[in-house]
A and B are shown apart, each in its own frame.
Chain A
Amino acid sequence: MPGTEMHDKPDGDITRLLDAFGRGEPDAEARLMDLTYRELRKIAAGHMRRERSARSLQATDLVHEAYLRLVDQAAIPWRDRGHFFQAAVHVMRRILIDRARKRHAGKRGGGVPEISLDRALNIAEAHSADLLVLEEALVRLEKVDGRQCQVVEMRFFAGMSEDEIAEVLGVSPRTINREWRMARAWLYKELYG
């Protein structure tokens, strides 16, 4: 198994490494990538734990895509582990929204003659449309409450538990629960009145 060598304290490590990376220390990038990989694997493992069905594969794929994008962004100076997670999770949101947008756009235009739309396609379309509406609301939420938006990203897009989010953001799980409930209620009302 690649990448199974574990460090004792990933939190300290990633923050320190980000620091080293920021100072341009040689080798820091390579080590940072290892950590990125390991942290993302944990997110994927979380998905797997919660979801034993074949669909957990989708979560893995999402993480995999996020990994690729983060590898792309290795030059971004992350401040600390929390910041790294925010970036990772934000990337996941982008991926999902991009996909929905693309699918939705394909439905409308793209010059594809729509002969018979079977059930699966209808559903896919409905979902991507809903997700795009949600995204619009989320953009509004982000403007008034950045942290709530992050919590939604972590919970909803990255599938992290409240405890995991609390740990990453350095606040109590209770706080996260509050933020989450309010954000969820607010988004619900935005979408459904």
Chain B
Amino acid sequence: MTSEHWRRVKSLFEQVLDQPPAACDVFLEESGESPSVVAEVRKLISGDAQAAGFLRNVVSAESSAASLFSSGEPLIKLRFPDEDFRCISGPVTPPRCSSYMIGQTISHYRIHAKLGEGGMGAVYRAQDLSLGREVALKFLPADTVADPQARKRLIKEAQAASRLNHPNIATVYEVNEGENAPFISMELVTGQTLKQIIPPGGLAPAQFLGIARQIAEGLREAHRKGVYHRDIKPGNIMLDSRSQVKILDFGLAAMARQERGLGETEETFTSLTADQNSAGGTVPYMSPEQVRREPADARSDIFSFGVLLYECLSGRRPFRGETSIDVLHAILRQPHTPLRELLTELSPEWEYLVNRCLVKSAGQRCASMDEVLEALRGVAAPAPRSEKSLAVLYFANLSGDREDEYFRDGMTEDIITELAKIRELQVFPRSAVLPFRDNPHTVARISEQLAAAYVLDGSVRRAGSRLRITTQLAEARTGHSVWAERYDRQLEDVFAIQDEIAQSIARALRVVLTEKEKREIEKVPTSEVQAYDYYLRGRQFFYQSRRKDLEFARQMFARAIVIDPGYARAYAGVADSCSTLHMWFGASEDFLSEAVAASRRAVELDPESAEAHASRGLAESLIRNYDGAGKEFEISVRLNPRLFEAYYFYGRAVFAQGRYEKAAGLFVKASEANPDDYQAHALRAGCLRALGRHEEAHEARRDSLRAAEHHLQLHPDDVRAVYLGANALCELGERTRALEWASHALSMDPEEGSVLYNISCAYAVLGETDQSLDCLEKAFAKGFGLREWIEKDPDFASLRSNPRFQALFERFSADRAKSTP
């Protein structure tokens, strides 16, 4: 066909298209063109008529008409997360991917079970018959290794990896070329991957540090041997139950499947063309040079390690986007958000290290893992909060009876309280040390996590009327013991022991006690050991803070009072239980009267007790005696400027009076007294919103969410942190996560009124009217709710005109009126 011929065909064809279909024949005959041109055009016209659905769109073949060859199947079917691996692409490893493999013997391996299947092919647990050990066998996807050259290169790389021997690297034992497809036998590692354990807000930096260091050690060893990983990501880091790290899949990145999941940015992939230097990698973790398919060396791993650090610390990846192309572009071109904008409390050393790893130009990046490890050492030693900061860990309960845990808990908490009376010491509050209770730990780890200068540890054993306590004080940085003692006494001596411990610690830390402090510490709360026992039981229930627990707590405190009518703390305990029952669970006015009476008595019995004044402040505020409450709270914080409860409930009382500025200040103080608390931030946000300071309110909500996330890492089953977190997410406009958290809270405790009420609020804000009303109805049925509060709660604004809401609220009010004479 000549170009002249083509030109004439084209011209005639275009003219014919302008004719009405019926006139085409005549037009062609009269065109005067040569018969061959006319014949060609006739052919095209008929083609045009038949080809309407032909070549619609290669990549989006949707219906049969739209498909290239009308089969209705997409031409290129790629992998979606939940789809079966085998359907993705042409040649796969046919029999190996099925259960057919189980029980087979291949080479000298007997296959026991399938462990998984992923970008690298199928993985099996198998027995090495010659050595008797258990191994993991990885079969490589056949299409990956169809090309003999590529296959050779891959095997060479895996063999290099097999020379690595390091505790933080999963060892590659053998590369076996196999009959059909090569496989690799490697160390069988069980546990969880880092990917599985990163919570939404990131890991606690101190907790993560040890993990980061181990990964870095493993990488350093490999780099020294000239082996690069090329696919460092949380999914390739395995942690066993003792947080020992194993880096998986060394030397295997180049074997990743060549077809990869679209949009599924987590997929490992290599370039499509086998002749290029395949750089491997997983999109969000790839270094810029990997994206550009330039040769990747140690510095590429360092970049990926930086991405991993960023994600583990903050819970989000530095380079993000809707699609993988956005992510790749971000890696090449966009700066990441500085870590400390996300985590204000993170040390600058962390941020500096991450920034140095994430430099886009390899030449200016951290050059070796030695440098990274050096920087990690700088991160490792956070300055202690103060020279005389002390973490009192929960003593070990050696009584051999779980029943006795309340005693051990109470003892420890009382020692914390005693020590907190010494101004010169900074003692970590109960909530800060709670995560370490019955949790094997080393002094070094505690000091990393809490930044405490000293750690007090010990054990309690109670047998009949005998009490044995051992205790030791260690310097956190060095682990050196500063003081240790063993007490083998009668149960009656329990307070004397507590005093002695407090005084000994003061001496050991060269703190001179003031007369007042001495008096405070020496004060014996009750002369009756049995009363103390009830008191401790009561306090344990009180801390559980569900309705039933609070009722038990009240009874226990009351029994303590029966035995010792002069027991001020027990009165304060009764008062707090009743106040809380009224405040959260809508308990009747009788409880309120009891709270007021008990707290007044507590103050009379022990006017120097900050706790007693705080209890009274709370009770007075609930009967709206705000002046009286304010005075009590002021006395309380004067007596103990670190008492969280005093600031927190003072703040709530002031908030109820609409004095938002003052309340916000008190919530700041509360957060200072207990930096780990998540509730005070949420209330501060409410104050700031009321003041119209929306940006600060937003920040406070972020603080609240962050604190709740942190708290949940340590106490995953604290449902209050979950529902307050859900509320914060609503306010922050993070709808998807808010819904997730809300349903999580409900699944944790579907029968609890406070949960139902707060989740009802969340659903109302999110516009999920039916779900909101369902929860509210159940909350009411559980007797939860304060009428005045519900009347004003801004969260229900969208429901006020809803007939079902109105009916519910009417019935609730009527019930309440009946129960409150």
Interface, chain A (partner B; CB < 8 A): 1-3, 30, 33-34, 37, 40-41, 44, 47, 50-51, 53-65, 67-68, 71-72, 95-96, 98-100, 102-107, 109-116, 118, 120-121, 123-128, 130-131, 134, 144-145, 152, 155-157, 159, 178, 181-182, 184-189, 192
A147–chain B nearest beta-carbon distance, Å: 10
A30-B60 CB under 8 A given contacts A99-B272, A126-B71, A184-B48? no
Q: Please tell me if the beta carbons of B69 and A96 are within 8 angstroms of each other in the complex.
A: no
Q: Please tell me if the beta carbons of B94 and A64 are within 8 angstroms of each other in the complex.
A: no
B218–chain A nearest beta-carbon distance, Å: 29
21 residue pairs from A and B, CB less than 8 Å apart: A2-B320, A2-B326, A3-B334, A41-B326, A56-B60, A57-B78, A59-B59, A60-B325, A61-B263, A110-B146, A112-B94, A112-B142, A113-B180, A123-B73, A127-B68, A127-B69, A128-B90, A152-B55, A155-B55, A157-B58, A182-B14
Q: Please tell me if the beta carbons of A50 and B60 are within 8 angstroms of each other in the complex.
A: yes
Kindly state the separation between the CA atoms of A59 and B76 in the bound complex, as whole angstroms: 10
Q: Which of A2, A30, A114, A128 has the most CB of B within 10 A?
A: A2
Kindly state the separation between the CA atoms of A188 and B52 in the bound complex, as whole angstroms: 10
Size of B's binding interface in residues, CB under 8 A: 73
A52–chain B nearest beta-carbon distance, Å: 10
Q: Please tell me if the beta carbons of A3 and B329 are within 8 angstroms of each other in the complex.
A: yes
A95-B47 CB under 8 A given contacts A44-B325, A128-B90? no
Interface, chain B (partner A; CB < 8 A): 1, 3, 6, 10, 13-14, 17, 43-48, 50-51, 54-62, 68-69, 71, 73-78, 80, 86-87, 89-91, 93-95, 142-143, 146, 180-181, 258-260, 262-264, 271-273, 291-293, 319-326, 328-330, 332-334
A58-B262 CB under 8 A given contacts A112-B146, A114-B94, A131-B68? yes
Lowest 7 A-B CB distances belong to which pairs? A61-B262, A185-B47, A57-B263, A103-B90, A106-B91, A110-B146, A188-B51
Q: Please tell me if the beta carbons of B293 and A178 are within 8 angstroms of each other in the complex.
A: no
Kindly state the separation between the CA atoms of A103 and B291 in the bound complex, as whole angstroms: 24
Kindly state the separation between the CA atoms of A55 and B57 in the bound complex, as whole angstroms: 12
Q: Please tell me if the beta carbons of A187 and B55 are within 8 angstroms of each other in the complex.
A: yes
- Smallest CB gap from A125: residue in B: B90
**Overall SS of chain B's interface:** loop
Residues of B within 8 A of A159 (CB): 57-60
Q: Please tell me if the beta carbons of B90 and A124 are within 8 angstroms of each other in the complex.
A: yes
Q: Please tell me if the beta carbons of A188 and B329 are within 8 angstroms of each other in the complex.
A: no
- Taking a contact as CB atoms closer than 8 A, the residue among A34, A53, A106, A131 that contacts B143 in the complex is A106
Q: Which of A51, A60, A68, A102 has the most CB of B within 10 A?
A: A102
Q: Please tell me if the beta carbons of A182 and B44 are within 8 angstroms of each other in the complex.
A: yes
A33–chain B nearest beta-carbon distance, Å: 7
Q: Please tell me if the beta carbons of B272 and A98 are within 8 angstroms of each other in the complex.
A: yes
Residues of B within 8 A of A41 (CB): 325-326
Q: Please tell me if the beta carbons of A116 and B94 are within 8 angstroms of each other in the complex.
A: yes
Kindly state the separation between the CA atoms of A61 and B262 in the bound complex, as whole angstroms: 5
Extra contacts, 6 of them, besides A44-B323, A47-B60 (Cβ < 8 A), are A3-B334, A67-B328, A115-B95, A128-B90, A155-B57, A156-B55
A110-B142 CB under 8 A given contacts A2-B329, A64-B323? yes
Q: Please tell me if the beta carbons of B60 and A144 are within 8 angstroms of each other in the complex.
A: no
Q: Please tell me if the beta carbons of B50 and A188 are within 8 angstroms of each other in the complex.
A: yes
Kindly state the separation between the CA atoms of A157 and B62 in the bound complex, as whole angstroms: 15
- Taking a contact as CB atoms closer than 8 A, the residue among B54, B78, B332 that contacts A188 in the complex is B54
Q: Please tell me if the beta carbons of B13 and A182 are within 8 angstroms of each other in the complex.
A: yes
- Smallest CB gap from A190: residue in B: B47
A71–chain B nearest beta-carbon distance, Å: 6
Residues of B within 8 A of A144 (CB): 1, 3, 6
Kindly state the separation between the CA atoms of A95 and B262 in the bound complex, as whole angstroms: 14
Residues of A within 8 A of B87 (CB): 118, 120-121
Kindly state the separation between the CA atoms of A173 and B657 in the bound complex, as whole angstroms: 70
- Taking a contact as CB atoms closer than 8 A, the residue among A40, A72, A110, A184 that contacts B55 in the complex is A184
Residues of A within 8 A of B68 (CB): 127, 130-131, 134
Kindly state the separation between the CA atoms of A3 and B323 in the bound complex, as whole angstroms: 12
- Smallest CB gap from A131: residue in B: B75
- Smallest CB gap from A47: residue in B: B60
A105–chain B nearest beta-carbon distance, Å: 8
A54-B273 CB under 8 A given contacts A3-B326, A182-B13? no
Q: Please tell me if the beta carbons of B43 and A30 are within 8 angstroms of each other in the complex.
A: no
Kindly state the separation between the CA atoms of A44 and B60 in the bound complex, as whole angstroms: 12
Residues of A within 8 A of B93 (CB): 112
Residues of B within 8 A of A111 (CB): 142, 146, 180
- Smallest CB gap from B274: residue in A: A102
Residues of B within 8 A of A130 (CB): 68-69
Q: Please tell me if the beta carbons of A55 and B89 are within 8 angstroms of each other in the complex.
A: no
Residues of A within 8 A of B71 (CB): 123, 126-127
- Taking a contact as CB atoms closer than 8 A, the residue among B10, B45, B50, B62 that contacts A55 in the complex is B62
A124-B77 CB under 8 A given contacts A106-B146, A156-B55, A159-B57? yes
Residues of A within 8 A of B330 (CB): 2-3
Q: Please tell me if the beta carbons of A64 and B6 are within 8 angstroms of each other in the complex.
A: no
A58-B48 CB under 8 A given contacts A41-B325, A103-B91? no
Residues of A within 8 A of B1 (CB): 144
A181-B60 CB under 8 A given contacts A99-B76, A188-B47? no
Kindly state the separation between the CA atoms of A20 and B105 in the bound complex, as whole angstroms: 63
A49–chain B nearest beta-carbon distance, Å: 11
- Taking a contact as CB atoms closer than 8 A, the residue among A100, A109, A118 that contacts B86 in the complex is A118
Residues of A within 8 A of B260 (CB): 61
- Taking a contact as CB atoms closer than 8 A, the residue among A57, A182, A187 that contacts B10 in the complex is A182
Q: Please tell me if the beta carbons of B69 and A126 are within 8 angstroms of each other in the complex.
A: yes
Kindly state the separation between the CA atoms of A121 and B13 in the bound complex, as whole angstroms: 40
- Smallest CB gap from B89: residue in A: A103
Kindly state the separation between the CA atoms of A19 and B383 in the bound complex, as whole angstroms: 55
Residues of B within 8 A of A102 (CB): 90, 143, 258, 272
- Taking a contact as CB atoms closer than 8 A, the residue among B10, B46, B59, B80 that contacts A62 in the complex is B59
Residues of B within 8 A of A57 (CB): 78, 80, 262-264, 323
Kindly state the separation between the CA atoms of A103 and B144 in the bound complex, as whole angstroms: 11
Residues of A within 8 A of B55 (CB): 152, 155-156, 184, 187
Residues of B within 8 A of A157 (CB): 58-59
- Smallest CB gap from A31: residue in B: B333
Residues of B within 8 A of A116 (CB): 94
Kindly state the separation between the CA atoms of A67 and B54 in the bound complex, as whole angstroms: 27
Kindly state the separation between the CA atoms of A147 and B140 in the bound complex, as whole angstroms: 43
Q: Please tell me if the beta carbons of A156 and B77 are within 8 angstroms of each other in the complex.
A: no
A127-B75 CB under 8 A given contacts A2-B329, A68-B328, A110-B142? yes
- Taking a contact as CB atoms closer than 8 A, the residue among A65, A67, A107 that contacts B272 in the complex is A65
B330–chain A nearest beta-carbon distance, Å: 4
B600–chain A nearest beta-carbon distance, Å: 59
- Smallest CB gap from A108: residue in B: B91
A53-B95 CB under 8 A given contacts A58-B76, A124-B90? no
Q: Please tell me if the beta carbons of B180 and A55 are within 8 angstroms of each other in the complex.
A: no
Q: Please tell me if the beta carbons of B47 and A64 are within 8 angstroms of each other in the complex.
A: no
Residues of A within 8 A of B54 (CB): 184, 187-188
Kindly state the separation between the CA atoms of A33 and B332 in the bound complex, as whole angstroms: 9
Kindly state the separation between the CA atoms of A71 and B293 in the bound complex, as whole angstroms: 9
